[in-house]
Amino acid sequence: MARPQDPPRGFFPFGNPFKNLSSKNPVLTTKLLSLLTSFEVNLASSIRKLVPKEKSEVLTVSWMKQAMESLCETHNGIKTLITDLELPVSDWEDKWVDVYLDISVKLLDLCNAFSSELTRLNQGHLFLQFALHNLETNSPQNLSKAQSSLDSWKQHIVSKNPRMENCRAILSSLVQTLNLPKVKNSAKGKVLMRALYGVKVKTLYISGVFAAAFSGSSQNLLYLTVSNELPWAQSFMEMQNTMNAEIKNIFLSDGLTVVKELGAVDSGVKKLYPAIQQGSLDPISLQPLKDCVTELATGLDLVSKEVDCFFKILLSGRDTLLENLRSIGASTVLATSPKKAAGKNYRGF
């Protein structure tokens, strides 16, 4: 059962990270300013689409699917921006590389945790299928089997997933990385760091929502403060405030779970319990539960696919960066000591 936790706390004990992005130098050219503006306008638009129109949309698998799909688009967008900036890895400062690699591996850990929980929830679908099969026969013996399966499903859903226990620590460490490295002598680097800041804020908040939903703990829900100077700040704060207010209410309710579609299945099961216990069930009354089970299974499958897509995007970006670093390292060795390097195989990361 989801239990109310302490309200989410604000972060940034180290100050406002935007200060590191708003220095006057280096000056951005018209082209660079245009690239940054375009990226941030698209970021604002993507965040705005995630603002729930109705309270009933909060913590639904349909919203979660849309949110993860949006993250995939945003992370693909940052790849495109890096290409448009014509900023090869050889021009990256070491601290930029360190930040990217550190963040990416932690996001991959979160993806693994989310995938693990989605797999666990899908395994619970087997209990529901077996129960529905027995309920359709409407015999006293099979109704008893169905009730046993439904009880097993409830126990499975409320059980804890050890993979989710580390999410809080990972999220907290990612919050610390919002304080981006200072950029002194690279206009392109300044654009990249500012764009990455927006990507990280969006990614971190959505990851916190997923972690809260899957762990049943509001301690994983984040409240992030961003500078009003950012074009996407208003959209982000609207999304965050709308989501957090309703999520807090959901956690205060006495439900089996905070994910809406899981709760709908639980409600459907509760409505059938009296008839199951009496040993007689009207087949027509079974349809609402069947619909809820189908909607849940379809939704979880779609969310799983988007999480997998996000994982692949992160892994591809990380592998590309590491491969480029290996190439740079090999070129450096050959340039500084061609005779020595000729007889050895270079090993990078």
Does residue 101 sit within a domain? yes
Q: Which residues pair with 215 in a beta bridge?
A: none
Query: What domain range includes position 310?
Result: 57-327
Does residue 344 sit within a domain? no
Q: What residue ranges in 182-267 does DSSP mark as E strands?
A: none
Segment 9-46, tens digit of pLDDT: 433 333 344 454 444 556 889 999 999 999 999 999 99
Per-residue pLDDT, 24: 52
Instruction: Tally the domains of the chain.
Output: 1
Measured distance CA(326)–CA(349) in Å, rounded: 7
Q: Is 306:68 a contact under the CB 8 Å cutoff? A: yes
Does residue 303 sit within a domain? yes
Does residue 61 sit within a domain? yes
Does residue 245 sit within a domain? yes
Q: What percent of the chain has pLDDT over 90?
A: 64
Q: Which residue has the tokens 């609207």?
A: 238
Nearest C-alpha neighbor of 18 from the set 35, 40, 38, 34: 40
**Tokens of residue 23, six digits:** 């220095």
Indicate if the pLDDT at residue 343 is higher than 80.
no
Better pLDDT: 180 or 111 = 111
Per-residue pLDDT, 329: 61
Does residue 26 sit within a domain? no
**Tokens of residue 180, six digits:** 């981006």
Measured distance CA(13)–CA(59) in Å, rounded: 29
Torsion of CA 37, 39, 40, 43, to 10 degrees: 160
Q: Which residue has the tokens 């960066």?
A: 321
Does residue 339 sit within a domain? no
Does residue 41 sit within a domain? no
Close Cβ partners of 305 (under 8 Å, ≥ 6 residues apart): none
